[in-house]
């Protein structure tokens, strides 16, 4: 089974997940700007691509155990893992802190997951997940730091190119770096520039670039629920150090304004994390390219908080 991330890995992922994920729609948004509507993906985010590729690759290699898969995540990665496991007819055991919102627990159960609530912090849920994997033989999945997960996410880039001939720049939000690393691997093959957008106070990739290695960062942003990784993957850092990649930080008010603009101007409701990519475009002192695609990567959010923002 391949364990490296390059365009060949992304192409292999595309073959594995063909017919089981929704091809991304690319729509014009403004002069020189297009939206890639990946928030319409199964489970509400791009994470479905990586989860499906991860499990399908293990199934093909004969390494998908009867005990199924396990992950510690109450967010988009957990939902995607549970969805992909159901498609492979294997169990998904998802560990969450006992403080996890009930709506997340119920959504996971709706995908057939066995939800285990452990401790009050994510670290405790993660430790329980690791212990469960060791004892049960279940396959451990990760939210972003695995070549198969990133390669699956990267399949969106060639779909965007198919829908937008002449694409020169793609803008993606970065948390742990799975989407960015996969997209960058595919973009590099075609000479497409990548803009990696992060909140100013969730800057794991930007800080790693400064330090020359992955480092822990503080997490404090309205987009922290989906972009709040404390450390970026080494694979993402390596991708960001290549030519054709630009790291951009945006403040929370710009993210909130981009999210409001998506609703007011396009009737699109996305997570603050997804709006971070558009905020990078709107905040740029000059155009980022002539044919720019912004990946709107997830919509697992409560529209009520958008309404609250609008009426505040």
Residue keyed to tokens 């496991």:
85
Q: Tell me which H or E stretch contains 103.
A: helix 102-110
Q: What is the mean pLDDT of the segment spanning 228-252?
A: 93
Higher confidence at residue 310 or residue 52? 52
pLDDT value of residue 310 = 46
Q: Tell me which H or E stretch contains 34.
A: strand 33-36
Question: Which residue in 94, 128, 95, 229 sits closest to 173, CA to CA?
Answer: 229
Three-class SS of residue 244? coil
* Residue 5 φ/ψ, nearest 5 degrees: -120, 110
Q: Which pair of tokens denotes residue 180?
A: 């960015």
pLDDT value of residue 307 = 58
Q: Report yes or no: 221 and 204 within 8 Å, Cβ to Cβ.
A: no
Higher confidence at residue 303 or residue 188? 188
Three-class SS of residue 73? coil
Question: Which residue in 155, 193, 152, 149 sits closest to 171, CA to CA?
Answer: 193
Q: What is the mean pLDDT of the segment spanning 262-290?
A: 94
Give 26-41 pLDDT, tens digit per residue.
999 999 999 999 999 9
Asked if pLDDT for residue 2 goes beyond 60, the answer is no
Q: Report yes or no: 149 and 184 within 8 Å, Cβ to Cβ.
A: no
Three-class SS of residue 303? helix
Asked if pLDDT for residue 82 goes beyond 80, the answer is yes
Question: Is residue 251 very low, low, confident or very high in pLDDT (cuts 50, 70, 90)?
Answer: very high
Give 171-187 pLDDT, tens digit per residue.
999 998 999 999 999 99
Asked if pLDDT for residue 83 goes beyond 50, the answer is yes
Question: Is residue 1 very low, low, confident or very high in pLDDT (cuts 50, 70, 90)?
Answer: low
* Lowest mean pLDDT, pick from 15-19, 63-67, 123-127: 123-127
Question: What sign does the CA torsion over 10, 12, 16, 22 have?
Answer: positive
Give 42-65 pLDDT, tens digit per residue.
999 999 999 999 999 999 999 999
Could you give the CA distance from residue 239 to residue 279 in angstroms, rounded to a whole number? 22
pLDDT value of residue 3 = 73
Asked if pLDDT for residue 160 goes beyond 60, the answer is yes
pLDDT value of residue 126 = 86
pLDDT value of residue 299 = 86
Rounded to the nearest integer, the mean pLDDT of the chain is: 92
Q: Report yes or no: 193 and 289 within 8 Å, Cβ to Cβ.
A: yes
pLDDT value of residue 31 = 94
Q: What is the mean pLDDT of the segment spanning 84-105?
A: 88
Tell me if domain 7-46+146-305 and domain 49-140 are identical in fold. Answer: yes
Domain-wise residue ranges, the chain: 7-46+146-305, 49-140
Question: Is residue 119 very low, low, confident or very high in pLDDT (cuts 50, 70, 90)?
Answer: confident
7-46+146-305: CATH, from 3.20.20.10, 1.20.1250.20, 3.40.50.1100, 3.30.70.260: 3.40.50.1100
Percent of the chain with pLDDT over 90: 78
Classify residue 251 as exposed, middle or buried by CB count within 10 Å of its CB (0-12, 13-18, 19+). middle
Three-class SS of residue 289? coil
pLDDT value of residue 312 = 43
Q: What is the mean pLDDT of the segment spanning 266-279?
A: 94
Asked if pLDDT for residue 286 goes beyond 60, the answer is yes
49-140: CATH, from 3.40.50.11810, 3.40.190.10, 3.40.50.620, 3.40.50.1100: 3.40.50.1100
Asked if pLDDT for residue 263 goes beyond 50, the answer is yes
Asked if pLDDT for residue 192 goes beyond 60, the answer is yes
């Amino acid at each position: 089974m391949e364990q490296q991330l390059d365009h060949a890995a992304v192409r292999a992922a595309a073959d594995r997940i063909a017919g089981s994920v929704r091809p991304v729609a690319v729509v014009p948004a403004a002069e020189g700007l297009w939206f890639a509507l990946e928030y319409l993906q199964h489970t509400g985010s791009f994470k479905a691509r990586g989860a499906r590729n991860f499990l399908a690759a293990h199934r093909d290699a004969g390494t998908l155990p009867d005990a199924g898969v396990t992950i510690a995540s109450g967010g988009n990665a957990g939902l995607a893992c549970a969805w992909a496991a159901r498609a492979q007819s294997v169990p998904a055991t998802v560990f969450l802190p006992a403080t996890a919102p009930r709506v997340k627990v119920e959504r996971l159960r709706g995908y057939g997951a066995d939800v285990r609530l452990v401790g009050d912090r994510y670290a405790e849920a993660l430790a329980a997940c690791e212990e469960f994997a060791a004892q049960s033989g279940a396959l451990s999945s990760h939210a972003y730091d695995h070549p198969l997960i990133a390669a699956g996410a990267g399949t969106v880039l060639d779909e965007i190119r198919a829908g937008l001939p002449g694409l020169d720049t793609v803008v993606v939000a970065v948390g742990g770096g799975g989407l960015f690393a996969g997209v960058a691997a595919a973009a590099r093959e075609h000479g497409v520039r990548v803009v990696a957008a992060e909140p100013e106070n969730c800057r794991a990739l930007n800080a790693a670039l400064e330090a020359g290695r992955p480092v822990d960062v503080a997490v404090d942003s309205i987009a922290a629920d989906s972009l709040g990784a404390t450390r970026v993957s080494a694979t993402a850092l390596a991708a960001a150090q290549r030519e054709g990649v630009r790291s951009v930080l945006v403040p929370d008010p710009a993210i909130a304004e981009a999210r409001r603009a998506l609703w007011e101007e396009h009737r699109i409701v996305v997570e603050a994390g997804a709006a971070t990519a558009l905020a990078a475009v709107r905040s740029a002192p000059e155009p980022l390219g002539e044919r720019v695609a912004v990946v709107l990567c997830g919509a697992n959010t409560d529209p009520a908080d958008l309404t609250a923002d609008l009426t505040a």
